[in-house]
A and B are shown apart, each in its own frame.
Chain A
Amino acid sequence: MSHCGEIYQRVVDAIFQLLFNELRQSSKASEQNCREVAARISSEVARICTESKRIQDSGDIETWATTLARLRLKQCLHYYQMGAHRGRVELHSTLSAIIYRYITPSQVPTSYQARLTLIEDFLQGFYAESLNAFRRESGMGPAYRPHTLLELAEYMAFAERYGKRRIPLPGHRTQQLIILRAQTFSQQQPPETSVDMEQAAEGSATDSDSVWNEATVQQVREAMVAHESEPLEKSLRQTVIKELLAYLKERQQTECADYFTLRLKDLSAGEIEAILGLTPRQRDYLQQRFKYHLIRFALSQRWELVHQWLEADLERNLGLTPQQWQTFQGMLSQEQAELLRLKQQGFPNAAIAQTLGCTVSQVEKRWFKLLEIAWEIRNRSVSGASASQDE
């Protein structure tokens, strides 16, 4: 205990001095105010250092403390320099972007505006919660509220950190606190009305139950997806996505990359239009443009990666069953068959071009065509079983 107390005191003193000096230099706050804020930050840092087993084990408590203190100072001054108006816009947009996808209007079809309205309501509650947490953790008493710009900045930095806290979940997963709160809010809307008027008016709780159940089911599914994917398959998919984004960027197709990002987040066409500021027609063009690049990427540029991920690489006969493989081979011209054979033997395009007596780009085009045929055969077998997964 006395050892901890000693550490605590030494850290508090050193960190306090550092923070106090920095705040004096970088803000216009009064000396007294800088003192108060510096004291709060330093005691929090000291608390972390004494509580964290990881830091205790490292044996270098003071370096940790300094790093943590500087990190907090930086966050606080970041908001301070932006001021009361820009700072809150920054905080609000940061938090809104984090929770956007987790706020799902229950009865209304998901639209950008509908989500925004709910986010607004949710964040109001979140600011109250984080103010309470701030009061509690800094021992400020239940009536404290920020008065000066520095205190406001301190609160905003805290609210951001608080929202981003990682909460351990079963199954070795973690999730950010604000996302968990947003999910709860979204599922149980309205959250804590003592009597829900609309529900009371209808005289039954069935409706809200079914909404809740649906959300639960969705959550289970999400968890399943997270657990089920094979690590290798998952990392391949990540590579494909990363490379596709890089590919689009390389071709200055930023809009396509944005579109793809929003699609990956499972947003509706309406939301995508709202976020990208496009008309439905413009979005349709963008979609076509994206598809064009997607195909080039999948059948030409990075065909090996994509086919490996789809378990349809050359070693696996392009993912075709023996019967399909036979059909496929039967469809090829002599030239195509030769190209396939060379590819199977692993010759680079330049060598293949030489052998076939054509240019490298011709080899690429022919290979594209060949992969297309294989793809079509694979598709035929599944299109009967499952309805086409259309856009």
Chain B
Amino acid sequence: MNSDLDNNSEAIDNRFLARLLEDCDPLAAPPPQESPAPTDDLVAAELELDALDPLDSEDLSVVTDHFGEATQGCQPLNLGGEIPTVQNRFHALLKRKLQTEIERNPPLFPWETEIRNYEPDYCDSEVNSWVPLWAPQLSNFSLPVTLPETVLTQLLNSCQEAMQSQLQQGAKMVRAASALFPGQPQALNQLAGLVLLYPTRSPQEQQLFTNRYEEATDSQQMALSLLAAREIINALTLPVSPDRQPVERQWQTTVGLMTLRAEYQVEGRVPRCRIETRLPRGGRLTLRTPQGLATAQRTYPGYLSVESFDLEPNQTYPLEIQFQELDRQPLIFAIAVGN
């Protein structure tokens, strides 16, 4: 039998196969002479969605089983070139292959930050529970002792508030930490001076602390909180000025890494600040000034930028980042404009 498969056959099958395939290969078709304006197709599709007969949207095969006559002539119109047998086989084949991969990395729906079990009944408390969307970054900070998540979370919130003030860094740290240690501003102030002096990860600092936050003394806990506050404030502050290089930051979230880049220039007399971000999912970017609001949003993950011409030296401006569908608090950075 194989002797039939000589060189002649090679040409035959190539030609036959090419002919079989060419109808479904758009590039094999002759170039268009007159354009049926395909972009209008898409626009039309958008517009006609509302006017659509809802039944056309049904998979009518089930329905028509029951209503053979009723739907005659009302079948969804067939798209040229698609053969159901091939289509079904193709989908089944791909689906099988995709499933094994998706199984390993299942998708998240817009409102989710993690895959959790859905309970048979609605549970109110769980909805309001804090989902640590911004938390992964907190564990990246270099601190001598790991702080409990609850402490870090509270610090993150209070830091974001404190940062928007025009205070010095030490005062911001104290204000942020005082949310955890109310009524002890003096002790915090003293420690803040010390903390500011020591670089993190210095040998001296290592000796200052025990291994567990919970076992630390009050003043050790304060010092640790101040250190954490310093790290958070640094990470959330984007210091810009005309003679500075653009500043870049990264922030790890539960849905992926977010990157930011801020640049400030004075062209002529007009100051111009441009923030570029890459978001791991769709979201919104807002830069507020007393005079205006620069905002941008997108549905899919990717780049997003805003620009403002209102920023003045020696001022701090909030930059909010919010992810789509995650009804969480935004993460607020501070754009600190220098001289």
A306 CB, nearest partner CB in chain B, Å: 7
Contact B62 A67 (CB under 8 A): yes
Contact B70 A54 (CB under 8 A): yes
The verdict on A376 contacting B11 (CB below 8 Å), with A148-B119, A264-B21 known, is yes
Contact B38 A223 (CB under 8 A): yes
Contact A71 B303 (CB under 8 A): no
Q: How far is it, in angstroms, between the C-alpha of A91 and the C-alpha of B76 when the chains are bound?
A: 23
CB neighbours of A277 from chain B (8 A): 97
Q: How far is it, in angstroms, between the C-alpha of A72 and the C-alpha of B251 when the chains are bound?
A: 42
Q: Which of A2-10, A203-211, A214-222, A333-341 contacts B (4 or more CB under 8 A)?
A: A214-222
Contact B12 A295 (CB under 8 A): yes
Q: Which of A12-20, A120-128, A352-360 contacts B (4 or more CB under 8 A)?
A: A120-128
CB neighbours of A97 from chain B (8 A): 90-92, 94-95, 98
A379 CB, nearest partner CB in chain B, Å: 5
A34 CB, nearest partner CB in chain B, Å: 10
Interface of A is mostly: helix
**Closest Cβ neighbor of A379 among chain B residues:** B11
Contact B53 A52 (CB under 8 A): yes
Q: How far is it, in angstroms, between the C-alpha of A120 and the C-alpha of B256 when the chains are bound?
A: 14
Is residue A93 within 8 Å, beta carbon to beta carbon, of the partner chain? yes
CB neighbours of A295 from chain B (8 A): 4-5, 9, 12-13, 16
Contact check: which of B29, B52, B79, B107 meets A88 at CB < 8 Å? B107
Contact check: which of A67, A190, A216, A376 meets B300 at CB < 8 Å? A190
Interface residues as binary, B239-274 with A (CB distance below 8 Å gives 1, 0 otherwise): 000000000000000000000000000000000000
Contact A121 B38 (CB under 8 A): no
**Closest Cβ neighbor of A71 among chain B residues:** B62
Q: Which of A233-241, A324-332, A342-350 contacts B (4 or more CB under 8 A)?
A: A233-241
Contact B94 A226 (CB under 8 A): no
**Closest Cβ neighbor of A235 among chain B residues:** B83
Is residue A184 within 8 Å, beta carbon to beta carbon, of the partner chain? yes
Contact check: which of A27, A47, A96, A275 meets B120 at CB < 8 Å? A27
Near B by CB (< 8 A), chain A positions 129-185 give 129, 131, 143, 145-152, 155, 161-162, 164-175, 177, 180, 183-185
Contact check: which of A161, A173, A184, A221 meets B32 at CB < 8 Å? A221
Contact A258 B93 (CB under 8 A): yes
Is residue A388 within 8 Å, beta carbon to beta carbon, of the partner chain? yes
Q: How far is it, in angstroms, between the C-alpha of A55 and the C-alpha of B302 when the chains are bound?
A: 45
Q: Which of A171, A219, A225 has the most CB of B within 10 A?
A: A225
Q: How far is it, in angstroms, between the C-alpha of A226 and the C-alpha of B2 when the chains are bound?
A: 38
Interface range on chain B (Cβ under 8 Å from partner): 35 or more
A93 CB, nearest partner CB in chain B, Å: 4
CB neighbours of A301 from chain B (8 A): none
CB neighbours of B11 from chain A (8 A): 375-376, 379, 383, 388
Interface residues as binary, B1-24 with A (CB distance below 8 Å gives 1, 0 otherwise): 010110011111111111111111
Is residue B301 within 8 Å, beta carbon to beta carbon, of the partner chain? yes
Q: How far is it, in angstroms, between the C-alpha of A272 and the C-alpha of B102 when the chains are bound?
A: 18
Interface range on chain A (Cβ under 8 Å from partner): 35 or more
Contact B107 A196 (CB under 8 A): no
**Closest Cβ neighbor of A217 among chain B residues:** B32
Interface residues as binary, A23-34 with B (CB distance below 8 Å gives 1, 0 otherwise): 000011110110
Contact check: which of A168, A193, A224 meets B56 at CB < 8 Å? A168
The verdict on A166 contacting B93 (CB below 8 Å), with A193-B298, A241-B83, A298-B16 known, is no
Contact B325 A128 (CB under 8 A): yes
Near B by CB (< 8 A), chain A positions 373-391 give 375-376, 379, 382-383, 388-391
Contact B110 A127 (CB under 8 A): yes
**Closest Cβ neighbor of A63 among chain B residues:** B66
Contact B42 A180 (CB under 8 A): yes
Contact B90 A194 (CB under 8 A): no
Near A by CB (< 8 A), chain B positions 95-152 give 95, 97-99, 101-103, 106-107, 109-111, 115-123, 127
Is residue B231 within 8 Å, beta carbon to beta carbon, of the partner chain? no
Q: How far is it, in angstroms, between the C-alpha of A10 and the C-alpha of B298 when the chains are bound?
A: 43
Contact check: which of A131, A165, A223, A242 meets B109 at CB < 8 Å? A131
CB neighbours of B116 from chain A (8 A): 84
Query: 6 closest Cβ contacts across the A-B interface?
Result: A226-B80, A389-B18, A165-B57, A149-B118, A145-B111, A194-B296
B residues contacting A by CB (< 8 A) are 2, 4-5, 8-27, 29-32, 35-36, 38-42, 44-45, 48-49, 52-59, 62-63, 66-67, 70-71, 74, 76-77, 79-81, 83, 85-86, 89-95, 97-99, 101-103, 106-107, 109-111, 115-123, 127, 276, 281-282, 296-307, 324-325, 327
Additional A-B contact list (20), CB under 8 Å, known A88-B109, A224-B29: A30-B122, A63-B66, A63-B67, A68-B63, A93-B98, A96-B102, A97-B94, A127-B110, A161-B59, A166-B52, A166-B57, A168-B48, A170-B41, A173-B80, A193-B296, A216-B39, A220-B35, A222-B81, A245-B86, A294-B13
Q: List 17 A-B contacts (CB under 8 A).
A: A47-B54, A51-B54, A55-B55, A67-B67, A120-B107, A121-B302, A127-B110, A146-B109, A161-B57, A166-B52, A194-B304, A228-B29, A229-B80, A234-B23, A245-B86, A265-B24, A310-B19
